[in-house]
């Protein structure tokens, strides 16, 4: 079922490509159904009747729900779950016909299997999944259907590859940011040989943004692995689909096409003796951010506009004190007003600081779990009498009774996951990229957008807290310094922070500025990419620092070798390269 073109002339112009694709299609799509052999049912069972009922009504259900449907029929062991969607550019008629045909084929070709998937047999395709267990919101990437074009790319592959990857990555990101009703993106871009490339990406809309993006990257990487050099093709997984070609294959001419992305940064083999250029601007523009920040502050009842920006001259009640920077995916920046609590309220919340509520203990005191009357869980830091934390640091964190109340971060800190062989598997590339971009956005706020310019001075993995959704929160401002409006740097005889994350000029001479935090961010960024602590190779590889180890692989044009092995192939190559490059810019000796 090919789309009907608006006129015969455009169709004739692209007829060879269309015919080649359609000639190839029946051969491949004869196996477009996959029957899972996990469990079976008998022909006379209730499951048979339920499956027939849910599949026969599916075309109407999908049509009446805007192109996506998830439901179930039956009870207990005989329940049949179904999930289905049509391609985003399909007409209602094409969608209905594809689903009707695909549902019939499933019942014939998977006669007694309790789970199966199909992509239909037409163009545009449709996806039907059924199973004996819930599927909603669950990413499924097996099996994979791959349909490469029979022709090869005629232009220079070295020119084509970065354009193709940059374009397809943009589409994957855009599709993932869709709604719970449609996660679909289509676009076109002009190639150096003046041909136009068309592509689309789509996920099952019940997926989260991260799962959708990850699924589409799997499709893109699978295509590159199987079909690199071909001039078009299709990759389908149960939860997502990807297609591209050199002619406009979209069924609808009215869909919104994304504009061409900016050209990718050229990655060439670097001069072994030259570090990255120090004058490059390391800003949020590098990341093409899709996330912004929600910033939370402690504040008392009064505020003095004329308060000087010196901690030794201002009692904390006269100004806002940053406690942590919370990064989320909302499209706005907020300054949230934190509450102050009476000591009696804190005692009640923590059961009088009961030992059973203690979460941990450090040099500055103990941290307790608590629960407020409204049900919110909190963490309370209580400064011990013998604490080595000075009044200056505590003023940076606390206003009342030497107690500090935080929102409880159930996922602890970034290092808890990142440096553990088992837990690090939960940090796939989409999550790591969100964490990287979130930290960078938070730093931008602290350095540029905040009313007070704040230098953190101790940015490291253990000071990045993670909420329920693995969103990063910059925490622990005990070492922070606040700069005046025109102040750009400062010096101290007391070196505070963590070696390995300190910039050389700070560690050796006590000079610090915004660039000190930028250096720390660069080290942290490389840690997130490599999955190793910054001193890992010092201990195991001849005394080599992480930045030097990574730079050597970049210089030798093998940057992929530094990636954390747990990432597998589920990552965006262009994003990884960009992040590695930014990491080098941040730790460059010329950055000051």
Q: Any alpha helices (H) in 82-208, and if so which ranges?
A: 92-109, 157-176
Cα–Cα distance, 169 to 476 (Å, whole number): 35
DSSP string, 410-448: TT-BHHHHHTSTTGGGG--HHHHHHHHHHHHHHHHIIII
Cα distances (angstroms) measured from residue 439 to each of 178, 246, 293, 296, 443: 24, 39, 9, 14, 6
Residue 320 neighbours by CB distance under 10 Å: 18
- The strand pair at 472-474 and 321-328 is best described as antiparallel
| Residue 406: closest CA among 459, 452, 365 | 365
CB-CB contact of 166 with 259 (8 Å): no
Distance of CA 448 to the CA centre of its chain: 24
CB-CB contact of 291 with 438 (8 Å): yes
3-state helix, strand, coil in the chain (%, to 5): 35, 20, 40
Helix (H) or strand (E) holding 340: none
Cα–Cα distance, 137 to 206 (Å, whole number): 5
DSSP string, 262-325: PPPPP--PPPTT-PPPTTS--SGGGGT---EEEEEEE--S---TT--S-GGGS-GGGS-EEEEE
CB-CB contact of 121 with 106 (8 Å): no
Helix, strand, or coil (residue 455): strand
Cα–Cα distance, 33 to 102 (Å, whole number): 9
Residues 56-91: b if buried by 16+ CB within 10 A, e if exposed: eebbebbbeeebbbbebbbeeebbbbbbbbbbbbbe
Cα–Cα distance, 424 to 71 (Å, whole number): 34
Q: Which two tokens stand for residue 105?
A: 């084929």
| Residue 74: closest CA among 55, 101, 97, 93 | 55
Taken in order 285, 265, 215, 204, the sign of the CA dihedral is: positive
| Active-site pick, 458, 476, 517, 564 | 458
CA atoms in the 13 A half-sphere facing the CB of 542: 2
What are the residues facing 187 on neighbouring strands? 199, 258
Q: Is 8 exposed, middle or buried (0-12, 13-18, 19+ CB in 10 A)?
A: exposed
What's the first-to-final CA gap in the chain, in angstroms?
Answer: 62
Does 458 participate in catalysis according to the annotation?
A: yes
CA dihedral 414, 415, 418, 419 (to 10 degrees): 180
The answer on whether 381 is annotated among ligand-binding residues is yes
- φ, ψ of residue 303 in degrees (nearest 5): -150, 130
- Binding-site residue ranges for ATP: 381
The residues assigned a catalytic role are 458
- Binding-site residue ranges: 381
């Amino acid at each position: 079922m090919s789309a009907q073109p608006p006129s015969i002339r455009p169709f004739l112009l692209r007829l060879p490509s269309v015919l080649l694709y359609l000639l190839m299609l029946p051969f491949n799509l004869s196996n477009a159904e996959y029957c899972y052999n996990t469990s079976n049912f008998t022909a006379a069972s209730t499951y048979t009747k339920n499956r027939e009922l849910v599949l026969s009504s599916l075309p109407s259900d999908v049509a009446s729900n805007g192109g996506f449907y998830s439901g179930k029929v039956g009870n207990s062991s005989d329940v049949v779950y179904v999930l289905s969607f049509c391609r985003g550019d399909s007409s209602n008629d094409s969608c209905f016909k594809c689903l009707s045909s695909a549902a019939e084929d499933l019942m014939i070709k998977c006669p007694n299997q309790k789970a199966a998937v199909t992509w239909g047999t037409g163009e545009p395709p449709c996806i039907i999944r059924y199973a004996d267990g819930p599927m909603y919101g669950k990413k499924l990437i097996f099996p994979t259907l791959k349909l490469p074009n029979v022709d090869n790319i005629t232009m220079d592959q070295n020119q084509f590859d970065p354009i193709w990857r940059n374009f397809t990555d943009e589409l994957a990101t855009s599709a993932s940011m869709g709604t719970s009703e449609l996660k679909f993106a289509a676009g076109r871009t002009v190639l150096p040989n003046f041909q136009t490339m068309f592509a689309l990406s789509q996920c099952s809309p019940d997926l989260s943004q991260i799962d959708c993006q990850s699924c589409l990257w799997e499709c893109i990487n699978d295509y590159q692995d199987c079909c690199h050099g071909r001039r078009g093709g299709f990759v389908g997984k149960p939860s997502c689909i990807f297609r591209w070609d050199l002619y406009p294959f979209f069924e609808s001419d009215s869909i919104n096409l994304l504009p061409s992305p900016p050209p990718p940064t050229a990655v060439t083999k670097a001069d072994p003796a030259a570090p990255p250029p120090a004058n490059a601007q390391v800003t949020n523009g590098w990341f093409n951010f899709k996330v912004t920040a929600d910033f939370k502050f402690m504040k008392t009842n009064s505020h003095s506009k004329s308060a000087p920006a010196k901690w030794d001259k201002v009692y904390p009640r006269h100004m806002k004190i940053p406690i942590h920077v919370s990064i989320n995916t909302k499209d706005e920046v907020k300054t949230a007003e934190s509450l102050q609590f009476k000591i009696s309220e804190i005692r009640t919340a923590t059961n009088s600081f009961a030992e059973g509520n203690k979460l941990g203990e450090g040099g500055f005191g103990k941290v307790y779990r608590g629960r407020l009357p409204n049900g919110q869980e909190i963490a309370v830091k209580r400064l011990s009498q013998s604490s080595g934390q000075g009044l200056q640091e505590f003023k940076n964190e606390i206003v009342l009774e030497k107690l500090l109340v935080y929102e409880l971060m159930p996922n602890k800190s970034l290092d808890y996951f990142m440096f553990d062989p088992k837990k690090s598997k939960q940090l796939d590339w989409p999550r790591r990229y969100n964490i990287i971009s979130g930290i960078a956005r938070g730093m931008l706020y602290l350095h540029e957008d905040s009313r007070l310019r704040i230098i953190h001075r101790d940015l490291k993995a253990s000071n990045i807290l993670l909420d329920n959704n693995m969103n990063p929160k910059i925490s622990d401002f005990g070492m922070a310094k606040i700069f005046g409006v025109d102040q750009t740097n400062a010096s101290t005889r007391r070196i505070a922070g963590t070696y390995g994350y300190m910039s050389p000029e700070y560690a050796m001479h006590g000079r610090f500025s915004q660039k000190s935090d930028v250096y720390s961010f660069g080290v942290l960024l490389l840690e997130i990419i490599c999955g190793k602590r910054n001193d890992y190779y010092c201990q195991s590889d001849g005394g080599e620092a992480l930045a030097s180890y990574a730079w050597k692989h970049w210089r030798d044009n093998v940057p992929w070798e530094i990636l954390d092995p747990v990432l597998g192939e589920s990552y965006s190559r262009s994003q990884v390269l960009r992040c590695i490059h930014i990491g080098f810019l941040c730790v460059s000796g010329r950055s000051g």
